[in-house]
């Protein structure tokens, strides 16, 4: 991600990459003398396996650490394993550009297993040592998988997600880090306990008592894995974190003071042990470190962490659960409707025509015994022939009956029975088809309602809490600037972006620019000038974060054979300054009919997206609408590019659409997904893929009129028109696919070019 260049923004951004690299190198160095359950720790292998380009530095740090601490002889397995893992990792990196979680597990398992075999051959291992090595292989594979998954998720989302299974993975990694740091003691201070106490105080700042208690308990687990002797006093951190988190709203000073008092009282209650004074020193130093950390630094650091737990979020979870329950109820109704339809289908399935006709005529005939008992084979064959003929021709006559059944006493009645039974069968079949179509439409609508409720449930569950402290600061700032009776509400949306709403009387006069600067300083974010709306004498000012990126959209279209109508439609949907959509719909065929189909699909997509419906759910609803709107055939593709301009993420969502392209640094990448257009099948597959955005990226959406394998032409045009506007570049790309000799084209062509640029550079 390209950072802004002015002085103010340099101050506001934190680069975590140097910190991450330095932490990995330090952990590998410490691991060369660390202990795990009384045995030499091998957790440094997981650190090395999950490291990126700094892997060689981590390996050198491990080797230097073993030489400095003199632990090479007792760590033969660790030395061999870390060397082999480094070798396999290097070979793996040559074949892949990016390490995935599965790859990290593979070369970790292969390297450590090979090292165990080699060490077992040349050195005598006890049963306890061999069992520990096997357990270490499993632990390191698990940790490397968790670490790579967390890194990839953080790179994609721009934050550290602590919700769900990702939170469990991060908790395991945190315990492993504390375990390593606990082995490091400098001047009587334990690095693991100090680190855990500082993290506890930071967690209590944002997540109150729950964050403090959880981090305290996890810190105790990490210390216990390394040193049983120091784990007893460390248990106090969970209680101290719970207590100090409860008073975190009173300010940092009160929270730190409460943390110290709770820790001291706990140590007094437990009793004096050889580790008591060491625990006091660690807690005191951690409190000093936290107190010296600037508040803005702590807030910026915690901005990378996502997840809330408080009263407001609990209410949101309750609402989310209710919506989930309603969604499951609709799903159950849909399932019952399908079961009822199947029962009706089976019950309505009539027997064959010959059986029905025979029951109507033959049972009342005096010659029934002669035909069906004495000449049953000939009668069955005759009835089968009559049924085949009535189904092929549509009716039979008396001559047909006489020719097949010369001894029949009631040929006219049998003829009427066959024809009437056939007409009844056709009528029931047509009614069954209509009922089936109706049931299918109802099922689709229930499924769409189920998806909508699921979307709303997801949005509510992701909604973060209102921050009372920041709300009060914003209100006070508005009052200082002359807005009496001002009310403020600062919240965080599902994308972890702060949003401030200020309610002031209509007669209030306020300097909007100064107010925006004040709100930006309070939230420690660059906020845009607010949008205003008035009602009942009250004006609401809404402040949203300034996006890090902006997009410039250019569109070029050409209809087939110079038709007046182009069958493709492009819509740009702007939800707010940080979230936008570009929608491209290609109606099947060309001309006016295709244009109507694409306009319907894109128009519905725009309305649904503005209503807060997700892309996948919206496409399913559009598919249902296009299947029942009454035209003979109504097919259309949908290609959506969803831009999160705050975090710099683009998500491609496609239903039958052609490939999209990303041009970056003179290279091109295509995004192709297999799916069918909307309006064909009752259930349609929606494909999606996400990509991280950077400054000067170019994204191209195009209809299938450009043909196959257009990468070379697109890249050539993009490189030659790099400094031009998006509409100019779109025209330049489109002209590559228009025949110069005026040859007939069988499809419309649409090219939408989206240029991504830094928001600050764009303004400059």
Dump pLDDT digits (tens) for 440-462.
666 666 666 666 666 665 555 55
What pLDDT was estimated at residue 662?
Answer: 92
What pLDDT was estimated at residue 309?
Answer: 43
Pair 473, 524: CB distance under 8 Å? no
In this prediction, residues 527-533 reach a mean pLDDT of 84
Choose the weakest-confidence range: 97-111, 216-230, 430-444.
430-444
Using a 10 angstrom Cβ sphere, with 0-12 exposed, 13-18 middle and 19 or more buried, the burial of residue 280 is middle
Nearest to residue 84, comparing CAs of 131, 48, 127? 48
| Phi–psi pair at 665, nearest 5 degrees | 50, 50
| Exposure class string for 585-607: b at 16+ Cβ within 10 A, else e | bbbbbbbebbbbbbbbbbebbbe
**3-class secondary-structure state, position 461:** helix
| Phi–psi pair at 307, nearest 5 degrees | 135, 135
What pLDDT was estimated at residue 432?
Answer: 66
Q: Rounded distance, CA 2 to CA 406, Å?
A: 94
Q: How confident is the model at residue 14 (pLDDT cuts 50, 70, 90)?
A: very low
What pLDDT was estimated at residue 445?
Answer: 62
Q: Rounded distance, CA 718 to CA 554, Å?
A: 13
Q: How confident is the model at residue 113 (pLDDT cuts 50, 70, 90)?
A: very high
Q: How far is CA 426 from CA 420, 421, 423, in A?
A: 10, 9, 5
Q: Tell me the pLDDT tens digit for each residue of 498-528.
A: 788 888 887 667 888 899 999 988 888 888 8
Choose the weakest-confidence range: 151-155, 483-487, 547-551.
151-155
Nearest to residue 290, comparing CAs of 324, 326, 240? 240
Q: Rounded distance, CA 701 to CA 602, Å?
A: 14
What's the length of the chain?
764
Instruction: Pull the structure tokens for residue 550.
Output: 């902006």
What pLDDT was estimated at residue 32?
Answer: 87
Choose the weakest-confidence range: 30-44, 183-197, 389-403, 615-629.
615-629
| Exposure class string for 226-253: b at 16+ Cβ within 10 A, else e | bbeebbbbbbbbbbbbbbbbbbbeeebe
In this prediction, residues 295-320 reach a mean pLDDT of 59
| 379 has a pLDDT exceeding 60 | yes
Instruction: Pull the structure tokens for residue 76.
Output: 């033969």
Q: Which helix (H) or strand (E) holds 519?
A: helix 512-523
What pLDDT was estimated at residue 165?
Answer: 75
**3-class secondary-structure state, position 630:** coil
Q: Provide the β-strand partners of residue 305.
A: 160
Q: Rounded distance, CA 361 to CA 386, Å?
A: 14
Pair 250, 204: CB distance under 8 Å? no
Choose the weakest-confidence range: 218-232, 235-249, 312-326, 544-558.
312-326
Q: Rounded distance, CA 221 to CA 250, Å?
A: 29
Choose the weakest-confidence range: 87-101, 128-142, 257-271.
87-101
What pLDDT was estimated at residue 312?
Answer: 47
Distance in Å from the first CA to the final CA of the chain:
18
What pLDDT was estimated at residue 308?
Answer: 44
Choose the weakest-confidence range: 202-216, 456-470, 640-654.
456-470
What pLDDT was estimated at residue 266?
Answer: 84
HEC-encoded secondary structure of 248-274 = HHHCHHHHHHHHHHHHHHHHHHHCCCC
Tokens 């039974």 correspond to: 421
The winner for highest mean pLDDT among 162-166, 499-503, 638-642 is 638-642
In this prediction, residues 653-673 reach a mean pLDDT of 88
Pair 306, 465: CB distance under 8 Å? no
In this prediction, residues 376-399 reach a mean pLDDT of 83
What pLDDT was estimated at residue 313?
Answer: 47
In this prediction, residues 653-657 reach a mean pLDDT of 88
Q: How far is CA 66 from CA 22, 43, 84, in A?
A: 18, 14, 16
| Bridging pattern class, strands 687-692 and 160-161 | unpaired
Q: How confident is the model at residue 325 (pLDDT cuts 50, 70, 90)?
A: low
| Bridging pattern class, strands 305-306 and 160-161 | parallel
- Percent of residues, the chain, with pLDDT higher than 90: 9
Q: Rounded distance, CA 198 to CA 536, Å?
A: 48
| Exposure class string for 650-680: b at 16+ Cβ within 10 A, else e | bebbbbbbbbbbbbbeeebeebebebebbbb
Q: Rounded distance, CA 230 to CA 209, Å?
A: 24
Q: At what angle do helices 76-95 and 101-122 cross, to 10 degrees?
A: 140
Q: How confident is the model at residue 739 (pLDDT cuts 50, 70, 90)?
A: low
Instruction: Pull the structure tokens for residue 377.
Output: 């084979």
In this prediction, residues 642-656 reach a mean pLDDT of 89
Query: In whole numbers, what is the pLDDT of the chain averaged over residues?
Result: 79
The winner for highest mean pLDDT among 73-82, 292-301, 561-570 is 73-82
**How far does CA 280 lie from the centroid of its chain?**
44
What pLDDT was estimated at residue 661?
Answer: 92
Neighbour tally for 147: CB within 10 Å: 23
Q: How confident is the model at residue 198 (pLDDT cuts 50, 70, 90)?
A: very high
Using a 10 angstrom Cβ sphere, with 0-12 exposed, 13-18 middle and 19 or more buried, the burial of residue 351 is exposed
What pLDDT was estimated at residue 2?
Answer: 39
In this prediction, residues 596-612 reach a mean pLDDT of 83
| 7 has a pLDDT exceeding 50 | no
Using a 10 angstrom Cβ sphere, with 0-12 exposed, 13-18 middle and 19 or more buried, the burial of residue 533 is exposed
Q: How confident is the model at residue 726 (pLDDT cuts 50, 70, 90)?
A: confident
| Phi–psi pair at 647, nearest 5 degrees | -95, -10
| Phi–psi pair at 35, nearest 5 degrees | -120, 150
**How far does CA 726 lie from the centroid of its chain?**
29
- Percent of residues, the chain, with pLDDT higher than 70: 80
Using a 10 angstrom Cβ sphere, with 0-12 exposed, 13-18 middle and 19 or more buried, the burial of residue 641 is buried
Tokens 């620019």 correspond to: 513
For residue 688, the 8-state DSSP code is E
237 Cβ neighbours under 8 A, 6+ residues apart: 193, 196, 197, 200, 215, 216, 217, 219, 220, 263
Q: Tell me the pLDDT tens digit for each residue of 402-437.
A: 888 887 888 888 888 888 888 887 777 776 666 666
Residue 113 region by backbone torsions, left for phi larger than 0, else alpha for psi between -120 and 50, else beta: alpha
Q: Rounded distance, CA 30 to CA 42, Å?
A: 11
Q: Which helix (H) or strand (E) holds 135?
A: helix 127-157
| 695 has a pLDDT exceeding 80 | yes
Radius of gyration of the chain (CA): 36
For residue 54, the 8-state DSSP code is T
């Amino acid at each position: 991600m390209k950072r802004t260049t002015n002085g103010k923004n340099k101050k506001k951004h934190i680069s975590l990459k140097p910190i991450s690299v330095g932490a990995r190198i330090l952990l590998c160095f410490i691991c060369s003398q660390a202990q795990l359950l009384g045995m030499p720790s091998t957790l440094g292998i997981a650190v090395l396996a999950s490291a990126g380009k700094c892997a060689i530095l981590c390996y050198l740090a491990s080797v230097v650490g073993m030489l400095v601490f003199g632990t090479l002889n007792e760590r033969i397995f660790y030395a061999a394993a870390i060397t082999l893992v480094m070798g396999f990792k290097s070979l793996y990196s040559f074949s892949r550009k990016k390490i995935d979680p599965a790859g990290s597990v593979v070369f970790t398992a292969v390297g450590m297993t090979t090292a165990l075999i080699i060490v077992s051959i040349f050195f005598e291992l006890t049963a306890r040592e061999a069992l520990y090595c096997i357990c270490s292989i499993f632990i390191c594979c698990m940790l490397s998988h968790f670490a790579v998954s967390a890194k990839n998720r953080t790179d994609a989302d721009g934050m550290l997600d602590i919700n769900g299974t990702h939170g469990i993975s991060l908790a395991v990694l945190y315990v492993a880090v504390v375990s390593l740091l606990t082995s490091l003691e400098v001047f009587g201070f334990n690095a693991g306990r100090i680190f855990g106490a500082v993290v506890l105080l930071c967690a209590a700042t944002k997540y109150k008592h729950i964050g403090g208690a959880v981090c305290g308990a996890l810190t105790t687990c990490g210390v216990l894995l390394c040193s049983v002797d120091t784990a007893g006093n460390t248990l106090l951190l969970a209680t101290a974190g719970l207590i100090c988190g409860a008073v975190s709203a009173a300010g940092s000073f009160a929270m730190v003071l409460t943390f110290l008092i709770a820790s001291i009282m706990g140590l007094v209650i437990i009793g004096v042990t050889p580790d008591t004074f060491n625990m006091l020193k660690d807690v005191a130093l951690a409190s000093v470190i936290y107190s010296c950390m600037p508040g803005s630094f702590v807030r910026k650091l915690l901005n990378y962490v996502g997840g809330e737990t408080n009263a407001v979020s609990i209410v949101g979870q309750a609402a989310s659960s209710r919506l989930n329950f309603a969604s499951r109820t609709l799903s159950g109704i849909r399932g019952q409707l399908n079961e009822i339809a199947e029962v009706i289908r089976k019950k309505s399935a009539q027997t064959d025509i010959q059986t029905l006709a025979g029951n109507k005529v033959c049972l009342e005939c005096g010659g029934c015994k002669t035909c069906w008992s004495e000449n049953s084979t000939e009668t069955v064959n005759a009835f089968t022939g009559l049924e085949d003929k009535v189904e092929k021709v549509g009716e039979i006559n008396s001559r047909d009956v006489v020719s097949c059944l010369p001894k029949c006493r009631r040929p006219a009645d049998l003829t009427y029975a066959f024809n009437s039974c056939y007409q009844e069968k056709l009528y029931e079949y047509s009614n069954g088809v209509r009922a089936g179509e109706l049931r299918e439409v109802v099922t689709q609508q229930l499924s769409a309602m189920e998806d909508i409720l699921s979307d709303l449930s997801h949005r509510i569950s992701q909604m973060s809490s209102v921050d009372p402290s920041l709300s009060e600061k914003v209100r006070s700032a508005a009052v200082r600037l002359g807005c009496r009776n001002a009310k403020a509400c600062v919240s965080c949306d599902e994308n972890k972006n702060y949003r401030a709403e200020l309610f002031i009387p209509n007669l209030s006069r306020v300097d909007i620019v100064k107010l925006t600067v004040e709100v930006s300083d309070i939230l420690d974010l660059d906020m845009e000038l607010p949008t205003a709306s008035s009602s009942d004498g009250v004006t609401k000012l809404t402040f949203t974060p300034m996006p890090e990126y902006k997009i410039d959209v250019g569109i070029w279209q050409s209809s087939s054979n110079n038709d007046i109508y182009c069958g493709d439609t492009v819509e740009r949907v702007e939800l707010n300054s940080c979230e936008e959509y570009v929608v491209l719909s290609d109606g099947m065929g060309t001309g006016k009919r295709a244009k109507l189909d694409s306009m319907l699909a894109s128009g519905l997509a725009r309305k649904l997206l503005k209503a807060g419906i997700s892309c996948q759910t919206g496409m399913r609803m559009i598919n249902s609408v296009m299947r029942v709107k009454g035209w003979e055939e109504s097919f259309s593709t949908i290609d959506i590019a969803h831009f999160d301009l705050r975090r710099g993420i683009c998500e491609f969502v496609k239903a039958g659409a052609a490939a999209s392209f990303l041009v970056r640094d003179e290279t091109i990448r295509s995004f192709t997904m297999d799916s069918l257009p909307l309006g064909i099948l009752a259930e349609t597959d929606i494909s999606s893929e996400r990509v991280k955005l950077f400054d000067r990226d170019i994204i191209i959406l195009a209809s299938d009129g450009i043909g196959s394998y257009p990468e070379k032409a697109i890249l050539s045009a993009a490189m030659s028109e790099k400094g031009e506007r998006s509409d100019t570049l779109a025209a330049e790309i489109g002209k590559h696919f228009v025949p110069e000799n005026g040859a007939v084209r069988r499809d419309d062509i649409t090219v939408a070019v989206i240029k991504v640029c830094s928001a600050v550079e764009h303004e400059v």
